[in-house]
Amino acid sequence: MAPARYVGELIFSLARYLGDLALLAAETIRGIFHGQVRPRLVVQQIYEVGFRSQLVVLITGAFTGAVFATQTYFQFHRLQMDTAVGPVVSVSMFRELGPVLCGLMVAGRVGAAMSAEIGTMKVTEQLDALRALAVHPVDYLVIPRFLAMLVSMPLLVAECIGVGILAAYLLTTQVLGVSEAYYLHNMLHFTGGRDVAMGLIKGMVFGVVIVFVSCHQGLVAREGAVGVGRATTEAVVNGSLCILVVNFFLTMTLNIFFPAGK
Amino acid sequence: MTEHAHPREIIAVENLVQTIGGQEILRGFSLKVYEGETLVLLGRSGGGKSVFLRHLIGLMQPVSGTVKVDNRSISGLRERELADVRRGMGMLFQNGALFDSMSVADNVAFPLRERGETNEAIVTSKVAEALQMVDLHGHQAKMPVNLSGGMRKRVALARALINQPRCMLYDEPTAGLDPIVADSIDVLIRRLQRKLGVTSIVVTHDMKSTFAIADHVALLHEGRCYFYGTCDQLRASTDPVIRDFVEGRSHEQP
């Protein structure tokens, strides 16, 4: 009986959590349709979440591309398929590695900051002060972050993919001695707009996931500093897990519209 | 009771019940506040005074009972529907609740900008005027973290007053302040009432402050309104609960 009860409670709390996220998303959309967009805050958030995340994302992309190219080369070299490294790295970076790794890094950097900031505001009554001043906390805090992520995430993912492919190209052609012309030809031949679209759509969806998970953790934070710490940890863990789970379903769905290969 | 001398009820609370963490904090609390008066709500720490105050501006929704502001029930209203009610009210939180990412000037200017004031010259002049009123002119550039407790409260007061609310809610406005700053807050509350006709509801357990500012006093005891009357009626009461509170007696032996 005990395991069944445990599973039941787990399912119930998961359903409630997803319901809370859906309500937050609905309130955000409602706020946008009510014209509660503050352009100054959106620009400020684009700077915070987009511009300032670039270094983390570029390093992630570059080293992922480089190490993936190296491992692929070691395997393909035995089969005399050296020039196939280009398309494998390129397609993988566009369709999976770029958006997922960029999403995980942003969930760590930006998600933690969002939940900590909003959580601190919650436990120090600043959210109540906003409400008392007739300002909806979702309008003031969540909408600018949501819009900033919609703009920033695809660009960050594009940067991550771009720098990953560049690092792989340089390593494979300049260090491992693969022909530049064949590498580029094969890469461009097997990589198409469908791969680019998949990467950017995934990036945008992951951005939305990060915003709602992190802001929700901040908005429900309790019990002072301990509560804010817990909210921050949960924002990063839940955000990362959600990205991995959502990625699976997105891959299956998007593959219908943007099938891999020609 | 002097209700008939007052023109109009601005706030009417009936049978308010609120439970927090399984404990019933308010057990059918009823109270009326009249336009232009200063009502002081007394009660022991942890007795539910702040919880009551939060219901008046819709920050909490009652388990049962009704809260009416200007004859309109605000119980059960959604967050966005409460905005109109809140625009006519101001609230001073116990610790100020200043936005710690903004300077003093930006904190005070916040309500103005949120209501669409884009002329920065007007904003600057109104902020200076509001800070002058709380005796903090010249501190515009400071951040909240660099302010003392008293200064934080006065900045929060300037922020709450800048849009000239008709009704002000004060949560322990003089708690933790030195007697001189506490007196200046009392004087300010009185001045706002006299000059601008602001209705004030003050939650406190500071008896000196109570006698300095109150038109009416209510005592919250065990979740209900135990006493309602004027300062003179409070002083004259022989009820042991009221006497203990007014004279600060715990009956504990040293």
How many angstroms separate the CA atoms of A235 and A216, rounded? 8
Residue A262: pLDDT band by 50, 70, 90 thresholds?
low
pLDDT by residue for chain B (254 residues), tens digit each? 444 555 788 899 998 899 988 888 889 888 899 888 899 998 888 888 889 999 999 999 999 999 999 888 888 888 888 888 898 899 999 888 999 999 999 999 999 998 888 889 999 999 999 998 888 888 888 999 998 888 888 899 999 988 888 899 999 888 877 888 888 888 888 888 888 888 999 998 888 888 888 899 998 888 888 889 888 888 888 888 888 888 877 777 66
Residue A1: pLDDT band by 50, 70, 90 thresholds?
low
Q: What is the pTM of this model?
A: 0.88
B156 contact residues in A (CB cutoff 8 A): 129
Q: Which residue ranges make up each domain of chain A? A: 22-257
Q: Which of B99, B107, B117, B170 to probe by mutation at the A interface, max A CB count within 10 Å?
A: B99
- Is residue A156 within 8 A of residue A52, CB to CB? The reply is no
CA nearest neighbour of B132 among B108, B111, B114: B108
Answer yes or no: do B100 and A126 touch at CB < 8 A: yes
Secondary structure class of A108 (helix, strand, coil): helix
Q: Tokens 């209203």 label which residue?
A: B77
Task: Please list, in sequence order, all residues whose beta carbon lies within 8 angstroms of the beta carbon of residue B31, skipping any fewer than 6 positions away.
Answer: B11, B12, B13, B39, B41, B218, B225, B228
Is any Cβ of chain A less than 8 angstroms from the Cβ of B251?
A: no
Backbone φ and ψ of B28, nearest 5°: 95, 50
A128 contact residues in B (CB cutoff 8 A): 54, 59, 93, 97
Percentage, residues of chain A above pLDDT 70 = 99
- The percent helix, strand, coil of chain A (3-state, each to 5) is 90, 0, 10
B87 contact residues in A (CB cutoff 8 A): 134
Neighbouring C-beta atoms of residue A260, cutoff 10 Å: 15
**pLDDT tens digits along A207-250:** 999 999 999 999 998 878 888 999 999 999 999 999 999 999 99
**pLDDT tens digits along A185-204:** 989 988 888 999 999 999 99
**pLDDT tens digits along A21-76:** 999 999 999 999 987 889 999 999 999 999 999 999 999 999 999 999 999 999 99
What is this model's ipTM?
Answer: 0.89
Question: To which H or E segment does residue A223 belong?
Answer: none
Residue A122: pLDDT band by 50, 70, 90 thresholds?
very high
